[in-house]
Structure 1
Amino acid sequence: MDSALQTFEKRQKALRRKHERMARGYVNKLDRNGLITQRPDSKLGGILFKLVMLVVLAIVVSKILLLAALGQEAYLTHLTNLQAGGTAEQAGAWLMQIDPVTAKVAEGVALILN
Structure 2
Amino acid sequence: MGLGDEKNQFKKRLRVLERKNRAMERGFTTHLRSDGLLIVKPKRRSFLLSGKSILLFACAFIAFKGLALAQVGQVTYDDRIAELSRGTIVEQAGAFVMQADPASQFVAQHLRTVLQ
Identity fraction in percent: 28
Cα distance change on mapping 1:69 and 1:37 into 2, 3 Å:
same
What secondary structure, in the 3-state scheme, does the structure 2 residue paired with 1:69 have? helix
Normalising by structure 2, we get a TM-score of 0.68
Show structure 1 runs of 5+ residues with no match. 28-35
Show structure 2 runs of 5+ residues with no match. 32-38
Distance in 2 (CA, whole Å) between partners of 1:54 and 1:104 is: 18
Normalising by structure 1, we get a TM-score of 0.69
Distance in 2 (CA, whole Å) between partners of 1:57 and 1:13 is: 44
Q: Which amino acid aligns with 2:74?
A: Q
Larger radius of gyration: 2
Distance in 1 (CA, whole Å) between partners of 2:113 and 2:30 is: 50
1:1-114 maps to which residues of 2 (within 5 A)? 4=8, 7=12, 10-23=15-28, 25=29, 38=41, 40-42=43-45, 44-45=46-47, 47-49=48-50, 50-114=52-116
Q: For each residue in 1:24-51, what CA deviation from the matched residue of structure 2 results, as whole angstroms up to 9, or x when unmatched?
A: x479xxxxxxxx9956334x22x51144
RMSD: 2.9
Distance in 1 (CA, whole Å) between partners of 2:92 and 2:111 is: 27
Count of residue pairs the alignment pairs up = 102
What secondary structure, in the 3-state scheme, does the structure 2 residue paired with 1:48 have? coil
Give the conservation status (yes or no) of the 8 Å contact 2:81–2:99: yes
Residue 82 (structure 1) shift: 0.9
Of 93-102 and 63-72, deviating more is 93-102
